[in-house]
Every structure is written in structure tokens, then in C-alpha cells.
Amino acid sequence: MDNTGVPAIVDLAAMRDVMAKLGCDPYQINPLIPVDVVIDHAVRVDVVRSHDALDKNMELEFDRNRERFGFLKWASTAFHRMQVFPPGSGTVHQVNLEYLARVVFNADGIMYPDSVVGTDSHTTMINSLGVAGWGVGGIEAIVAMLGQLSGMLRDGVTTTDLVLTITQMLRKHGVVGKFVEFYGVGVGELSLPTRATIANMSPEYGATMGFFPVDHVTLDYLKLTGRSNETVSLIEAYLRANNMFVERHEPHTERVYSSYLELNLTDVEPCISGPKRPHDRVPLKEMKLDWHACLDSRVGFKGFAVPREYQDKVVKFDFQGQPAEIKHGSVVLAAICSSTNTSNPSVIVGAGLVAKKACELGLEVKPWVKTSLTPGSAVAREYLKHSHLQDYLNQQGFHLAASGCATCVGNSGDLDGSVSAAITENDIVAVAVLSANRNFEGRVHPLTRANYLASPPLVVAYALAGTVDIDFEKEPIGHGKDGSEVYLRDIWPTNEEIEQVVKSSVLPHMFTQTYESIKRCNQRWNELRVPGEAAALYPWDPSSTDIRKPPYLEGMAIRPPSVRDAYCLLNLGDSVTTDHISYSGSITPGSAAAEYLRAAGVADRERLGSYGGRRGNDEVVVRGAFANARIVNKLMNGKVGPKTVHVPTGEELCKYKSEGHNMVIVIAGAEYGSGSSRDSAAKGPMLLGVKAVIAKSFERIHRSNLVGMGIIPLCFKPGEDADSLGLTGHERYTIHLPTSIGGIHPGQDVAVTTDNGTCFTCTLRLDTELELAYFNHGAILPYIIRNLAGPQ
């Protein structure tokens, strides 16, 4: 996808420059395998509740990203075996699932199983189709693991309820860096889109992949999405011949795995997750009590510390000429989004049916709730139109706003000014409810401090209720046109109703026709000017604020310098995500990135764009490092926000780099780097001078990215952390690595000392010999160049 694909291709283009400078053939820097880039993260939800929202948002998307799109179009001509899907094609995962994935490759009569690595952690969605795929992050040592499913989902329970249950279950068990394979009679009861939803959430439960072997359900889905009967028959024959096809009716053959977990699908109940982490599942029947507990609890993953006397405060304001009001728990943003759920027609249809029943009973979403529909598949608009459910979604404000990743990655756009003012001036804990995969602090919108993941039908329900402070079983969701109370059960569709619409409206020709035209139907893309078309080297524009030649390859060192007398840049707690480390949302006026862009001539606030959209510019990447408004740095004594202390002077600023001290470290707790697989979350800290991160544990992909950028990952020994060792972050740190290249080996113990006499031992998380080779060359890019260029 483009948010991570652009910086990767920028690196490839810069490597070509280095090869040319060394007198080598720049075309040696070229993909050896097919590469597909889907532009799916550039759109922002600016226009909503309008019949032309889709076109208007795309027009704004091209206006903001013209240079970035031109760069990608150049890449599609300059690099062999690279194809680019234009904006509006859908999310990369659904394009892969519905169109790109082969399941079995047939190359000139040689057949082999399909596999994929992607620059997005949710590449695991393709595991539902029996394809081995995961987010890239280097070479990992993987432990096999299996989860067993039995039973079937009860009526009224959605796929989202199932996946949130699995996410909590597996995260609690601990599956970071492992394979999860699902088997059991229950798997045969799950549709392919349901499996895709479960596989997509693999990063949220921490696994390398969540795998579903190929069976008849898989083959039926391949036919539904337009793969030919001949292709499907060939896939089945190959997999049967290699004992890789699963017959669910056959007696179970015991397999050996490192762990076994069992989940009975009949035990799954309606739920949502939040308010700040995807694995903090809350049964729907307990939501009201849980919400009040969150208001009472101290600030943390499950708390906001709102004094009791202010919890019922009602703020009245004027919204576009009509009276409005919000309070703690009010829903101000409701979005049906993300490939996690919009890959699944059953939950999208379910949302449409909830909207239909609500319309018929006279319920309406309050106009100050920002509502949007941004499905990951362009096919969704076809079956919603065919079933006429889009009409009812439109009546509730859920107009089609984009086909891509928008709200789920923080491109939610601005709230109405009156709503924003009501929130900020009264310190209201406002809520976003969305059908996405992540709800980390500051990710969805800067003003929604509480963010809940829910199924698309529940997104519509909470938008209608206007608050999460509700017991759906006991309290009405609203009042109908006749004044009678309407409960959630009155507008909730049965599984049979949903299945009837899916069968009659989700049709094979919709997939075939959509993907036959997907790369040529975007006229704005077709007319886009390409700089230096098909040239080997990209014509860098030094004045560009979008695409800049990165500095990573300048003066390539043979290996990183030893870390001595390093200051601590940040002292962080548990579950610090890549959203905290490399913010992806809108660039706000007054921020360091905004000031840089203003100095470069970008004066219009609307043109500042997002950190994610400008990741091809290292100057924005470095200013986006640790820029999340909700990050908590212990050096700041409880103050929340993107600030730190300059240890030598005690000033609240970061000036190590400017004063020539290019050596700092980061201290962190458990699960450091969870979330999206962002190279920028390693590049940004590297540009700030971070040489090492010492944490209790790392999320798999981020640890690999740190290694790739030459940052040393170290783990505290079990039972130890910064607090137990008495580390405050005001010390200076020396990491005692062996001085000779041959003296370092993967996983060894490393002594760390401070200037106040503290000494402790950490585990070096260079996990393989290949990662050690990257480290010895300073980073992964110099390693690749030296191997391709040979002796000079």
C-alpha cells in the first residue's frame, strides 16, 4: 500500500543513484519477484453526507497528492515487475484477496504454492485463502502454533464479535512471532470473508500469521470472485496431490504444534473493543458499566479519571443553526471502514439492514455525528447498490466516501468546528466508533479520546444512539415516528435475513467487471503527468515537500558506532505503538512538521496533509517521530504530548541533534512497536540519533525494522524493567558490545552501564545471522548495495 510503499520505493530510487555513482548498473536495483502497489491510504474523509462525497474526496486526494502519485506512476514504468493500482481501487488487502492472489502459481508448467510478503502488517488477511503471507520485517524465527474452533455462531453474533474474541484470547495467551493455524469442525462453518476478517487481525493478536488451509469454502470463494473454473480445478488438483487440501468431513488427523487453544463458536457473544486497545474486549451487555468504570479509573488503557461531579456534564452548542448537545461518551464519529470488516459482505449487508429498519421506524442519526462509509473493496458499492441498501445507509449519513483506507488510518478529516470547540473547550471525552482493526490513542482523530472497534451494524446502532453510555438490552436506542421506544433488537437483522441479501446481491460478475476495468477507469490517474517516464534514475526535485532523496545512504559506515554516554530521549511505558512512534494522522498547525512545511512554502492549512502521506520526505518523517498527542514520556512528569527533557539543561525540548550529540536511546516497556508495520517508526528515530531501544519486549515487525535501520534492540531480562532497576532516564548510558565484528552473535547477553554506577544485563535482539550481517554493514540498505556492487 502507498503509505509504506512510497518510502520503500524512495529507498529503491536512492539506491539506484548510489549504484550509478559507484559506476554500476542502476537497473541492478530492481524487484526480482512481482510487486503490486495499491494506492489506498491517501484519501481523507473531508466530504460526508453527500451523494458526490466519493468523487469530491477523490478530487481532493489528487489535489493533495499529485507529486506522490506521479512518483508512483514513474516507478511503475522505471522498475520491472511492478504494477500500480490507482486510487479508488480499494485497499491492498482486498485487491489481493479478490483479484491478485493465485493460491497456486503456474509458471510455464511449474506449479508451486502462492506466498506473499507485504509492507502492511495486515497482509495476513490473505491467510484466509490458504496463502502464506505476512508483513515484512526481516527474517524471523517462527514457532508453530494451532488454534481449534468448534460449534457455530449464534444468531445475532457477527464476524466482528468473533474476531475481537479471538484477538483477546490469543493476545492473552501470547503468540507474538508465531504461526496460528485454525482447524476443527467450526472452521467449516466459517465463510471465506469471515476467515479473512480473522486473518486480517493477526497483527492485533500478535501472530506472524493466522492461517486457514484450503478447503471447499476456499474454492467456492475463488469462483465467486471471478477466477475461472479451469484455474480453480488446477488449484484443487495440485493441493490434493501434495496433501495440502483439507476435507472437513474426514476424521481429524492429529497434528503436532507447540500450543493448542480451543474456542467454541457458540460461546461468542456481541462485543466491542476499547477504548484504547483492540484486545480490550467488552461484552455488549457490560458496555455501560465498563464505560462508567473507564470514566472513574485513573488515566491509562482503561481510564480517563473524570471527576464524578463532572461525568454527567452536558454541553449545549449550535450546530449549523440548530441546537445540539454532547457529553462524556457522546459519539461524534462513526465510520464503517477498514478491510478487516469491509471484506465481509455479511456485516456490510447487516449494517445496511440496520439502517433500513431504522429508517422504516423513523430513527435518524444526529447531524453532528460525522458518519462515513469507506469500504476496502470497490465491489461493495455494487452489491449495496443492487440490494438498494445504500439508499438507506445514505439516509442515515453513511454515504460512500472513499474506496480505501481512510478513518482506520487516521484520515478521518476534520470534525465540524462547532463540535470541535464543544469538545476542546469543555474537556469532553468524545467517542469514535468504527469497524476498523486499531483504536490506539490519537490514531482515529485527535479529539476522540475514546475509540471503540465494533461491527458495521453496531457502528450504525451507536451512531443512532449517539452515545456509548447505553445498555442496549434495557434502554431504547431512540423513539420512532409514532413516539414509541425503539430498542436495538427491533432493528437488528437475523442471520437468515442477511444471508438472503448476500445470496441475491453479491454476484460473481460484480468482481469480474470491477477488476477488469480497475486500472484504467480512473481518469485523473490516466491524465497524471509522470516525471522522467521510464528513466532509470528519478529526477529528484530539491524543493519538493513530498518526495526527497533520503539521507540514509550518505557516507555509509561499515557498522554503527559503539554506544557510549548516550542520553535517554524518551522513557516510555507498555504498549507503545508505531502510532506513538511515527504518527500517521493530520499535520496540525504549530507542529514541527507544519513549521517546516510553512517555511518551505506550504502556507495553506488544508495542504499540510498527513504524516503518512508525506513519508517520502525524510524532513517530515523526523518531525513526525514521537509526535502523537497522546504519548506519555515519563521524563515529562505526567505531562501528555510529544515533548521531552534535554537532560543536561532540564529544558523541555529536544536539541541533541542540533548541538551535535548524535547518540540517544529510548527506554520502553512491553510490546514496544505494536501496530502498523511502519518503516518510518524506525527511520524517524534513527534520524533523531537513536542508536538503541531497551524494552521489556518488542512486537515482531517493529523489532525487525529497527535492525534494518541500524538501531540496536535490547531486551531487559525477565522480571526487570526501568523501574525495578531504578532508571529514570536522566542517566547517561553505555552499551558494551564487543568491538570486533566477529565478537557479536545473535541473542547474546550485553552489559549496559550508566554514569551513576548502575549496571544491568540485556539480551541482544539480533535474532539471526542475517540480521547480524545487516548490523555489521550499518543497516539493511548499505548491506544490499555492497552485495550488488561487489568490490570497488
Q: What digits encode the pLDDT tens for the residues 647-688?
A: 888 888 777 777 777 789 999 999 999 877 778 899 999 999
Q: Kind of pairing, strands 281-283 and 331-337?
A: unpaired
Residue that is written with C-alpha cell 524518551 in the block: 570
Contact 28, 19 (CB under 8 A): yes
Per-residue pLDDT band at 422 (split at 50, 70, 90):
very high
CA distances from 158 to 89, 139, 453, 496, 724 (A): 26, 36, 13, 13, 43
| pLDDT at residue 223 is higher than 90 | yes
pLDDT, tens digit (0-9, with 9 covering 90-100), for 673-728: 987 777 889 999 999 999 999 999 998 889 988 998 899 999 999 999 999 999 99
Contact 429, 78 (CB under 8 A): no
pLDDT at 560: 62
- Look at domain 566-578+633-789 and name its CATH class: alpha beta
pLDDT at 7: 84
Contact 126, 101 (CB under 8 A): yes
Runs of H (alpha helix) within 572-628: 578-581, 592-599, 618-624
Query: ∠ CA(573), CA(575), CA(580), 5° rounding?
Result: 85
Of the ranges 309-318, 605-614, 678-687, 765-774, which one carries the lowest mean pLDDT score? 605-614
Contact 333, 412 (CB under 8 A): yes
Per-residue pLDDT band at 611 (split at 50, 70, 90):
confident
132 three-state secondary structure: strand
CATH 3.30.499.10: which residues of the chain? 2-6+35-267, 271-505
pLDDT at 140: 31
| pLDDT at residue 146 is higher than 70 | no
Residue that is written with C-alpha cell 453532528 in the block: 368
Integer Cα distance of 27 and 6 in angstroms? 19
- Determine the average pLDDT of the residues in 23-33: 87
Per-residue pLDDT band at 136 (split at 50, 70, 90):
low
pLDDT at 557: 57
719 three-state secondary structure: coil
Integer Cα distance of 708 and 514 in angstroms? 38
pLDDT at 274: 93
Per-residue pLDDT band at 2 (split at 50, 70, 90):
low
pLDDT at 731: 95
Integer Cα distance of 711 and 703 in angstroms? 9
CA distances from 758 to 122, 440, 724 (A): 41, 34, 12
β-bridge partners, 318: 323
| pLDDT at residue 317 is higher than 60 | yes
Residue that is written with C-alpha cell 529526477 in the block: 539
pLDDT at 448: 95
Contact 206, 279 (CB under 8 A): no
| pLDDT at residue 163 is higher than 80 | yes
Most confident residue range from 416-425, 513-522, 525-534, 583-592: 416-425
pLDDT at 389: 98
Helix (H), strand (E) at residue 4: helix 2-21
Residue 245: DSSP 8-state: B
Runs of H (alpha helix) within 362-437: 380-386, 389-395, 417-426
472 three-state secondary structure: coil
Secondary structure (DSSP) of 740-782:
SGGG--TT-EEEEEETTS-EEEEEE---SHHHHHHHHTTSHHH
Contact 540, 547 (CB under 8 A): yes
Contact 371, 466 (CB under 8 A): no
Closest CA to 634 of 722, 708, 561: 722
pLDDT at 788: 82
Higher-confidence residue: 677 or 486? 486
Q: What are phi and psi of 705, to 5 degrees?
A: -65, -40
| pLDDT at residue 739 is higher than 80 | no
Integer Cα distance of 560 and 554 in angstroms? 14
pLDDT at 522: 86
Closest CA to 29 of 784, 600, 736: 784
Integer Cα distance of 491 and 246 in angstroms? 38
pLDDT at 558: 56
pLDDT, tens digit (0-9, with 9 covering 90-100), for 370-415: 999 999 888 999 999 999 999 999 999 999 998 888 888 878 889 9
Rg (CA), the chain: 26
Quickly count: other Cβ atoms within 10 Å of residue 549's Cβ: 19
Integer Cα distance of 333 and 432 in angstroms? 5
β-bridge partners, 38: 85
Fold observed for domain 271-505: Aconitase; domain 3 (3.30.499)
Q: What's CA 466's distance to the chain center, in Å?
A: 26
Closest CA to 122 of 93, 159, 90, 99: 93
405 three-state secondary structure: coil
Distance from first CA to last CA of the chain, Å, rounded? 36
- Determine the average pLDDT of the residues in 312-341: 93
Quickly count: other Cβ atoms within 10 Å of residue 102's Cβ: 19
Higher-confidence residue: 756 or 123? 756
Integer Cα distance of 718 and 720 in angstroms? 5
Q: Kind of pairing, strands 732-736 and 566-571?
A: antiparallel
- Look at domain 2-6+35-267 and name its CATH class: alpha beta
Residue 435: DSSP 8-state: S
CATH 3.20.19.10: which residues of the chain? 566-578+633-789
β-bridge partners, 325: 316
Contact 153, 268 (CB under 8 A): yes
Q: Where are the beta strands (DSSP E) in 384-542?
A: 431-434, 450-453, 478-479, 485-486
Contact 202, 122 (CB under 8 A): yes
Q: What's CA 418's distance to the chain center, in Å?
A: 30
| pLDDT at residue 263 is higher than 80 | yes
Integer Cα distance of 738 and 743 in angstroms? 5
Length of the chain: 792
Per-residue pLDDT band at 138 (split at 50, 70, 90):
very low
The proportion of the chain whose per-residue pLDDT surpasses 90, expressed as a percent, equals 55
Integer Cα distance of 577 and 434 in angstroms? 19
Integer Cα distance of 389 and 354 in angstroms? 10
Burial environment of residue 637 by CB neighbours within 10 A (0 to 12, 13 to 18, 19 or more): exposed
pLDDT at 468: 98
> What grid cell was written down for 563?
554506544
682 three-state secondary structure: helix
* Ordered strands of the 209-211 beta sheet: 209-211, 178-183, 143-150, 260-264
| pLDDT at residue 326 is higher than 80 | yes
Three-class DSSP labels, 84-127: EECCCCECHHHHHHHHHCCCEEEECCEEEECEEEECCHHHHHHH
Per-residue pLDDT band at 116 (split at 50, 70, 90):
confident
- Determine the average pLDDT of the residues in 469-496: 96
Of the ranges 74-83, 228-237, 477-486, 557-566, which one carries the lowest mean pLDDT score? 557-566
pLDDT at 144: 25
Higher-confidence residue: 51 or 520? 51
pLDDT at 559: 60
The proportion of the chain whose per-residue pLDDT surpasses 70, expressed as a percent, equals 96
Spatial neighbors of 238 by CB under 8 A, at least 6 apart, are 104, 111
pLDDT, tens digit (0-9, with 9 covering 90-100), for 63-90: 888 888 999 999 999 998 889 999 888 8
Higher-confidence residue: 250 or 517? 517
- Determine the average pLDDT of the residues in 314-329: 97
